[in-house]
Structure 1
Amino acid sequence: MKRLQLPHWLTDTIYTITGILFSGFALKSFLVPNNFFDGGVTGISLLVHELYHINIAYVIIIANIPFIVMGAFQINKTFAFKTVAAVIGLGLCLLYMPYPAMTSDKLLVSIFGGVFMGIGVGLAIRGGCALDGIEVLALYTGKRISFTISEIILGINIIIFLIAAIKLGLPTALYSILTYYTASRTINFVIEGLEEYTGVTIISGENAAIKEQLVLTMGKGITVYKGERGFLKDSFDVSQPVDIIFTVVTRLEVRRLRNLVHDIDPKAFVFTSTIKEAAGGVLKKRARH
């Protein structure tokens, strides 16, 4: 039987609405009642809210407008339109959804506030929009200066947390850094999921048996590079041809693959690398949104 395939616009809408609800829950139930912060535009909005007591819903919408305009030029107008709708939706959610304050325990607030915020932002990204425009700013700035996007985001967040430490105290700033870290890790998990792929490279004299097991036992596609092995310190001039095997597995399969290779050749050289996106070939992974 064929699986029911929802239209892309419907799945994007479901992701975005769910992301808005989670983000609103994180803000109204954890961060705002306890004067906590996050990074990025959300962090700036929370800081303005704390310092000037302006409703957080209005601040988030106004703070994101410049970045939405940047997004229209840097990415595309569809992205900008979706982001406008998502940010306004988040503002309405903050105004009208009756979220209760969950806890005043600082550690719980920093961890679970970050988790729910990360889930919300991650789901919105999977829906094709952004609830926080900081990455758009980093993309825009990165084309004009010699810093990477990660370095720009880090620099902006350092400034946010320094201001928070000066104005509201060091403990609040430190707990807020924990919130930001938790949120960023959760965002990565939501976007990549359990199926985040890992590239595995194997160099072994028993490559024929390893290739057979990878394809027939694990059902994996493989790519073979022709190389040479040897070149040791005591015998630099001695080498022999070798097939270098490359395959892609989910991170849950890495241990099984390592054990399989070790059983065939305990001396095999195996190294892994994280792959952010993978599609096509024999991979069964569904497309990201």
Structure 2
Amino acid sequence: MSTTPTFRSIVTDTLYTVAGILVCGFALKSFLVPNAFFDGGVTGISLLIHELYHFNIAYVIILANIPFIIMGAFQVNKTFAVRTSLAIIGLALCLLYIPYPEKITSDKLLVSIFGGVFMGTGIGLAIRGGCALDGIEVLALYTGKRISFTISEIILGINIIIFLIAAIKLGLPTSFYSILTYYTASRMINFVIEGLEEYTGVTIISGQNQRIKEMLVMQLGRGITIYKGERGFLKDSFDVSHPVDIVFTVVTRLELRRLKDLVHEIDPKAFIFTSIIKEAAGGVLKRRARH
């Protein structure tokens, strides 16, 4: 089967990437750099080097990301590495030549929050375009295959080192505000990538499973998967069990409240649990963006 991207997907990816580059440039030039604030990851390392040694931030970002681009070629694929290279060069050019407002505000709280919002939005848009403006996750993926720590733990450890250096060299207040910037940016990245329609897997165990199946398919228009199981095994009657259909479906988090209400109307004792689904495609899902 051919995996050649369509013209529409190429245009969409390019628009996402360009928008991400422009927004990241705005966050850096108008909020973080003029106020000596930091982010996490490779961007944080670049900002720290710029602040300590006064090298031009545009060149530092390119040089700091080169090792991670090389890792990305092996850990992800060469297309990803090429796209990431072009995106980072584009970001550097934006920092050099686009006349962003030099310093929108000096209020530390506003800088930390809105600098993080714009930085996270830009990085998230670039990820939706199929590239990365910060290579720290590539490093974590590479390292995670060689040591026992999880990717999240590796990223956390690297960022702790960045913020400790910032605290020692530039003072605790700057480090604390920069941690807030990083947290805001990470939340925005998740929001931009997943959006309001982040999918949730819902598992339902009920003696009224037939009515629940009909409700999910006919009323909500959802696809369902059925697992065969047994219910019972209570403390006072451990040897007593009954076959049951375990119903699994996928909804957006905006639909979750309604689904729970409808299930409990059918069976107030129904057992329901949910799990976050990071990627979902195919099947009977409502149409959403490819990314």
Fold in common (TM above 0.5): yes
Residues 60 and 91 of structure 1 are in contact (CA less than 8 Å); yes or no, is this contact kept in structure 2?
yes
**Structure 1 residue 284: Cα displacement:** 2.9
Residues 279 and 287 of structure 1 are in contact (CA less than 8 Å); yes or no, is this contact kept in structure 2?
no
1:265 and 1:43 mapped to 2: Cα distance? 52
1:133 and 1:288 mapped to 2: Cα distance? 23
Amino acid at match of 1:277: E
Instruction: Report what 1:231 is aligned to.
Output: 233
1:235 and 1:107 mapped to 2: Cα distance? 59
**Structure 1 residue 245: Cα displacement:** 0.5
Amino acid at match of 1:71: G
Written as runs of structure 1 = structure 2, the 5 A alignment for 1:174-253 is: 174-253=176-255
Identity %: 83
> Aligned pair count?
285
Residues 279 and 285 of structure 1 are in contact (CA less than 8 Å); yes or no, is this contact kept in structure 2?
no
Instruction: Report what 2:96 is aligned to.
Output: 95
The answer as to 2:132 corresponding to 1:130 is yes
Instruction: Report what 2:123 is aligned to.
Output: 121
What TM-score, normalized by structure 2, do the two folds share?
A: 0.96
Segment of structure 1 superposing worse, 233-242 or 265-274: 233-242
Amino acid at match of 1:251: R
The answer as to 2:35 corresponding to 1:69 is no
1:204 and 1:75 mapped to 2: Cα distance? 42
1:167 to 166, 169, 178: 169
**Structure 1 residue 192: Cα displacement:** 1.0
Tell me how large the CA RMSD over aligned residues is. 1.1
**Structure 1 residue 146: Cα displacement:** 1.4
Residues 40 and 153 of structure 1 are in contact (CA less than 8 Å); yes or no, is this contact kept in structure 2?
yes
1:20 and 1:288 mapped to 2: Cα distance? 20
What TM-score, normalized by structure 1, do the two folds share?
A: 0.96
Written as runs of structure 1 = structure 2, the 5 A alignment for 1:8-87 is: 8-87=9-88
2:107 and 2:236 mapped to 1: Cα distance? 62
2:68 and 2:7 mapped to 1: Cα distance? 30
Instruction: Report what 2:3 is aligned to.
Output: none
Structure 2 alignment gaps of length 5 or more: 1-5
**Structure 1 residue 238: Cα displacement:** 1.5
Residues 34 and 104 of structure 1 are in contact (CA less than 8 Å); yes or no, is this contact kept in structure 2?
yes
Deviation digits for residues 164-183 of structure 1, max 9, x if unmatched? Answer: 01111111111111111111
Amino acid at match of 2:232: G
Instruction: Report what 2:275 is aligned to.
Output: 273
Amino acid at match of 1:18: A
